[in-house]
């Protein structure tokens, strides 16, 4: 279900240019999640289920408000709840809406071996096209944020699409529409950064000296950004990585090495061909047979 109204800048396992004559006149988009404004109501989780026709299994309470306990193929976004005791001894309830970060440099797309199973649109959204997905799970190994989940039902990988189907027709993602406190905002990446600047200044004036914007450069920036009260310690927020980057193992495995290895295999076959052309076959001669026959004769005799 490739959205032909959205231009593609990158396509998994594809070495030729993707369709891209229509430039994104409005620039790249971004979702801004202001953790300081989130009340953990989970309206965004419900809206995500509703718009995307997802219904996760009814699970069990694990003693926190976090429900379901983890992202799944049916739960593309999840409120993660952390009870943090700050150095002053006060309790801070840090609630982070988890889901795909839509990296500018997507590890999932780089790791994916199936042509067109993962695409990156010109507006920055990273989308999975499940009809091309082969279910290998390499996207999971490629992702620095542990987001993609393989469905047990159809063995395809799923994650937040940033409602690419809604964005393609000029609507905001379903979660944004449902947020009652304005903790979720959507717009161009530039606008969201400007808005975040104001929010960060406000938080800093209220005693959160380390407030800041989470837009990690290790993955080229993200199209889902957080305003964090403690931007110096993102790992406080249910293990949000401080310096996410595509693993060196994935880089080594996918980047330069594989084209070289393909060339190596081709060269091995060519070396065999040219060896044959130059040296020719190593034939057993009549003299060899005669020498062998003499030894056999001796042995019998």
Partner 1 sequence: MGDTAHRTVIARYTERERVNHWILAIAFVLAALSGLALFHPSLYWMSSLVGGGTWSRILHPFIGLVMTVSFVLLALAVGKHNRMEERDWKWLREMPKAKSHDDPRLPEVGRYNGGQKILFMVLVASMALLLLSGIVIWRSYFSAYFPIGVIRLAAVVHALAGFVLVCSIIGHAYAAVFWVTGSMGAITRGFVTPGWAWRHHRAWFRENIRAANPRTRAD
Interface residues toward partner 1, by CB under 8 A: 13-15, 113-115, 132, 134-138, 140-141, 146, 150, 155, 247, 249-250, 252-253, 257-259, 261-262, 264-265, 268-269, 272, 275-276, 279, 281-286, 288-293, 295-296, 299-300
**Rounded to the nearest whole angstrom, what is the least distance from the CB of residue 12 to partner 1 in the complex?**
8
224, 240 contact by CB (below 8 A): no
Taking the least distance from each CB to partner 1, the nearer of 39 and 272 is 272
Taking the least distance from each CB to partner 1, the nearer of 207 and 281 is 281
What tokens appear for 265 in the block?
Answer: 């295999």
How far apart CA 221 and CA 104 sit, in angstroms, is 6
CB within 8 Å of 183: residues ≥ 6 apart = 33, 34, 35, 36, 37, 38, 39, 97
Taking the least distance from each CB to partner 1, the nearer of 84 and 253 is 253
What tokens appear for 41 in the block?
Answer: 């109501």
**Rounded to the nearest whole angstrom, what is the least distance from the CB of residue 162 to partner 1 in the complex?**
24
How far apart CA 265 and CA 267 sit, in angstroms, is 5
How far apart CA 121 and CA 103 sit, in angstroms, is 11
224, 99 contact by CB (below 8 A): yes
Strand ranges inside the chain, DSSP E: 8-11, 29-34, 78-85, 91-98, 118-121, 126-128, 149-150, 157-158, 184-188, 212-214, 224-228
Distance of CA 83 to the CA centre of its chain: 27
198, 206 contact by CB (below 8 A): no
Taking the least distance from each CB to partner 1, the nearer of 65 and 249 is 249
**Rounded to the nearest whole angstrom, what is the least distance from the CB of residue 20 to partner 1 in the complex?**
18
243, 218 contact by CB (below 8 A): yes
Taking the least distance from each CB to partner 1, the nearer of 61 and 290 is 290
Taking the least distance from each CB to partner 1, the nearer of 1 and 273 is 273
Q: Measured over all CA atoms, what is the biggest interatomic distance in the chain, rounded to whole angstroms?
A: 108
ω into 26 cis (within 30 of 0): no
How far apart CA 231 and CA 211 sit, in angstroms, is 5
**Rounded to the nearest whole angstrom, what is the least distance from the CB of residue 13 to partner 1 in the complex?**
4
Taking the least distance from each CB to partner 1, the nearer of 31 and 80 is 80
What tokens appear for 228 in the block?
Answer: 């964090």
**Rounded to the nearest whole angstrom, what is the least distance from the CB of residue 191 to partner 1 in the complex?**
34
Taking the least distance from each CB to partner 1, the nearer of 39 and 291 is 291
Taking the least distance from each CB to partner 1, the nearer of 24 and 116 is 116
**Rounded to the nearest whole angstrom, what is the least distance from the CB of residue 273 to partner 1 in the complex?**
8
**Rounded to the nearest whole angstrom, what is the least distance from the CB of residue 148 to partner 1 in the complex?**
11
**Rounded to the nearest whole angstrom, what is the least distance from the CB of residue 73 to partner 1 in the complex?**
13
**Rounded to the nearest whole angstrom, what is the least distance from the CB of residue 55 to partner 1 in the complex?**
23
């Amino acid at each position: 279900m490739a959205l032909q109204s959205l231009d593609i800048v990158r396509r998994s396992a594809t070495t030729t240019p993707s369709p891209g004559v229509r430039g994104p006149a409005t620039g790249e988009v971004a979702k801004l999640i202001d953790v300081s404004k989130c009340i953990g109501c989970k309206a965004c989780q419900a809206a995500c289920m509703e718009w995307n026709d997802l219904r996760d299994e009814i699970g069990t309470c694990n003693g926190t408000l976090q429900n379901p306990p983890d992202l799944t193929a049916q739960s593309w976004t999840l409120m993660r709840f952390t009870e943090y005791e700050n150095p002053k001894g006060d309790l801070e309830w840090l609630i982070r809406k988890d889901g795909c970060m839509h990296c500018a440099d997507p590890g999932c797309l780089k790791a994916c071996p199936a042509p067109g199973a993962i695409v990156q649109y010109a507006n920055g959204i990273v989308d999975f096209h499940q009809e091309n997905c082969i279910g290998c799970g390499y996207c999971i190994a490629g992702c620095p944020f542990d987001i993609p989940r393989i469905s047990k039902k159809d063995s395809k990988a799923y994650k937040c699409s940033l409602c690419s189907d809604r964005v393609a027709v000029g609507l905001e993602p379903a979660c944004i529409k449902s947020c009652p406190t304005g903790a979720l905002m959507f717009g161009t990446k530039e606008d969201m950064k400007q808005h975040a600047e104001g929010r960060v200044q406000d938080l800093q004036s209220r005693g959160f000296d380390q407030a800041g914007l989470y837009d990690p450069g290790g993955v080229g920036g993200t199209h889902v950004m957080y305003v964090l009260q403690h931007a110096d310690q993102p790992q406080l927020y249910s293990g949000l990585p401080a310096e996410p980057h595509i693993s060196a193992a994935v880089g080594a495995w996918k980047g330069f090495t594989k084209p070289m290895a393909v060339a190596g295999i081709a060269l091995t076959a060519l070396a065999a061909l040219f060896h044959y052309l130059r040296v020719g076959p190593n034939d057993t001669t009549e003299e060899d047979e005669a020498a062998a026959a003499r030894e056999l004769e001796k042995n019998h005799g």
